[in-house]
Structure 1
Amino acid sequence: MTGALRDLLARHVAGGAVPGAAASLGPETAVAGALAVGGEPMRAHTIVRIKSMTKAVTAVAALRLVESGHLALDEPVDRWLPELADRRVLRTPTADLTDTRPAVRPITLRHLLTCTSGYGMVLTDSPLRQAMVDGGLDIGLDQRRYAADDWLTRLAALPLAFQPGEGWRYHHSFGVLGILVARVAGRPLQDHLTDDLLRPLGLHDTGLWVPAGSVARLAASYWHDDGLTEIDPAGAGDYAGPPPHDVSHGELVSTLVDYTRFVRVLADGGRFEGGRIVSAEHLRLMTTDQVPAAAKTPDSFFPGFWDDEGWGFGVGVRGTGRYGWSGGLGTTFFVDPDGTAGVLLTQVEIGERLQPLFDEFL
């Protein structure tokens, strides 16, 4: 495979799909292009916004709290998140916001990890979807604009789309999970992750923002219009420097070196340098389908998603046994049953121009 990975990246850079890309596949790594159009070369240490690939990291952090006795998978979370006590549930997902009934069970850690809490993105026009847009909670809006407690208060003001455990909706459960981990730990998520997971694994460039001394390595981000349209310039944007408020509900930045090391821990059975980061049983739950068949409704996610995909704890699971997930700004990772792992990082929103690169890499 020598050279094939770099050739793949270089071909898609030359074709205009991405300004630059960094990837690892098994023992090989490759980079191509630049961290911004006309900018410095892409490096393995270039910092990128990994968006929803954060979910796997947060899941491991939560499972470590379970293993230390601070949490339990089926324990109600309203002990730490009183905003989520006494939930109301829509009679149907498209019902008027006042047409509700009491929740028959509390939200648990397992519900958050499996995206079955009752909160999540709404793809069909409905009063709930409009309320999420009006409240700044739509998935297309950066939830970091609000402090973590404010964001949770806004979310908790809305009814659940379904009874906890009886449906599936993507994304928002993991913002809640970040806040839960922070409250159980008694400090902001950034501080807890750094001490409990990131520093022990040597993930020095992974966090909820980029320190001032490292912002020059933060890549620009783009979306495709007629060409590449810049969203955030290199070295700038919401992730450059400490935020003005708590972002425990937010998403991470990382590098190819860092995220590959994290994925290798998963591929190696949760072990790192002779120690154990997550138990074998929790890793099994994390990386196998945990969503009840009745919750896999056609309206719960994009058409056809459930045809060949399941969901564990923060990762998607294929019928082949491969697990992994992607981030909206053009990042993805996978682990195969034989331990082969791959990570691909770009900074272009996922869409039809980027999909060929994803497909060939995967």
Structure 2
Amino acid sequence: MSTAAGPGADQRTALEALLRRHVEEGTVPGAVALLGGEDAEPVAVGRLAVDGPAMPVDAVVRLQSMTKVVTAVAALRAVEAGHLGLDDAVERWLPELADRRVLRHPAAEVDDTVPAPGPITLRHLLTCTSGYGMVVDGSPLGAAMAANGTQAGPLPWAGGADAWLARLAALPLAFAPGTGWRYHHSFSVLGVLLARVAGRPLADHLAADLLGPLGLRDTGFWVPTDRLDRLPAAYRAEDGALVETEPAGGGPYAGPPDVDVSHGELVSTAADYHRFLRALAARTPVDGAPLLSAEHLALLTSDQVAPALKTPESFFPGFWDGTGWGFGVAVVTAGPAAGRYGWSGGQGTDFFVDPDGTTGILLTQVELGERTWGLLQDFQALRDPDRLS
């Protein structure tokens, strides 16, 4: 298949053909995707589950880390409303994070620490430089995170937001705030922060400040019971086969949870997420004003990580080659797609926005692995980089 797609109907045809090929090859049982500008419409291919009903175009999927940019926008809106500042210490609202201690070196025992030279700020959370994050090197800190339920995994965090934060706060920082980069946990901390600043669960705050005004009726922290017929099954690939990890219409996101999930991740549809991205990129008015100021949009969509922090051990090998990190999104910093921003979710979701406003959204429900990475790469290649402005 060609890596370029023409405009309009040709682009939609190429997208549908790509999805069908990957369904037929067994990469995913089904997918919903969208590629184009303001009027782009999603296409659905395959099934909600292996041997299940057809995948609906309005499938409500687990976004996982595609949640991060939504949380980042909510945080910047709180800044613009005067509720907190980018360089405010978060311990005012998160006293659990006062008086942090830092490992003497990455492989140190968890009690071999020194006082942190400064507090964690909102900016540190948005840029994944708080000192909290994924540890995958078998260190004592990594073992301690696995033991107390704060290591990242495919399932939502166990327990409520306050209990989760208390467990995380019981562990030292991997590095002093602002001196390193580690993925993921900062945004769960950010969710708890926003809930406490707002004085209500993040689900309620997002509904009132962002999701409701944008008309995103299918986006939230769980799937309402009357829409469970649109929640696909979740899978992981093992030995070349798809193994179901959550049933269609079931799992942790089915119906309202019993605990506060302000530290959690969203579910959404392709149409909802496209409306959010259009409001962000085109600065569509929401309640009479743009979603974000031009200043904050520029910060969110440009590289905010100092070169010294882009070390090979901070994330997977090669991640920083031509890539930076803004606020909740990766940013392409070199090559023909320079200026593109976007991110993926661990359950096989992906989005990007190009400088000319072209948007791509891909929603599957198979954990990222060799074959799903191939699908994501094929999807992004449909966008002809020669047409970037």
Interval containing the TM-score (normalised by the shorter chain): over 0.9
Partner of 1:277: 291
Count residues in correspondence: 362
1:327 to 345, 360, 366: 345
Partner of 1:9: 19
Report if the CA contact (8 A) 1:270-1:280 is conserved.
Answer: no
Partner of 2:54: 41
> What are the Cα deviations for residues 32-55 of structure 1, in whole angstroms up to 9, with x where unaligned?
011111112112211100000000
In the alignment, the residues of structure 2 paired with residue 205 and residue 136 of structure 1 have an alpha-carbon distance, to the nearest angstrom, of 29
- SS of the residue 2:78 aligns to: helix
In the alignment, the residues of structure 2 paired with residue 105 and residue 278 of structure 1 have an alpha-carbon distance, to the nearest angstrom, of 29
Shift of residue 273 of structure 1? 8.2
In the alignment, the residues of structure 1 paired with residue 32 and residue 359 of structure 2 have an alpha-carbon distance, to the nearest angstrom, of 14
Q: How does 1:182-193 map to 2 (within 5 A)?
A: 182-193=195-206
Q: Which runs of 5+ in 1 are unaligned?
A: none
Shift of residue 274 of structure 1? 6.0
Partner of 2:233: 220
In the alignment, the residues of structure 2 paired with residue 242 and residue 180 of structure 1 have an alpha-carbon distance, to the nearest angstrom, of 21
Partner of 1:86: 99
In the alignment, the residues of structure 2 paired with residue 186 and residue 44 of structure 1 have an alpha-carbon distance, to the nearest angstrom, of 36
Residue identity matched to 1:122 = V
Q: Which runs of 5+ in 2 are unaligned?
A: 1-10, 381-389
* Range 293-302 or range 74-83, more displaced: 293-302
TM score, norm. by length of structure 2: 0.91
- SS of the residue 1:223 aligns to: strand
Residue identity matched to 1:242 = P
1:70 to 70, 83, 91: 83
Report if the CA contact (8 A) 2:156-2:265 is conserved.
Answer: no
Q: How does 1:212-361 map to 2 (within 5 A)?
A: 212-225=225-238, 226-269=240-283, 271-272=285-286, 275-319=289-333, 320-361=338-379
In the alignment, the residues of structure 1 paired with residue 377 and residue 171 of structure 2 have an alpha-carbon distance, to the nearest angstrom, of 37
In the alignment, the residues of structure 1 paired with residue 288 and residue 162 of structure 2 have an alpha-carbon distance, to the nearest angstrom, of 38
Shift of residue 28 of structure 1? 4.2
Q: Which runs of 4+ in 1 moved over 2 A?
A: 141-144, 269-275
- SS of the residue 2:317 aligns to: coil
* Range 203-212 or range 273-282, more displaced: 273-282
* Range 328-337 or range 263-272, more displaced: 263-272
Identity score, percent: 64
Shift of residue 270 of structure 1? 5.8
In the alignment, the residues of structure 2 paired with residue 66 and residue 186 of structure 1 have an alpha-carbon distance, to the nearest angstrom, of 15
Shift of residue 134 of structure 1? 0.4
- SS of the residue 1:179 aligns to: helix
For the aligned residue pairs, the C-alpha RMSD in angstroms reads 1.2
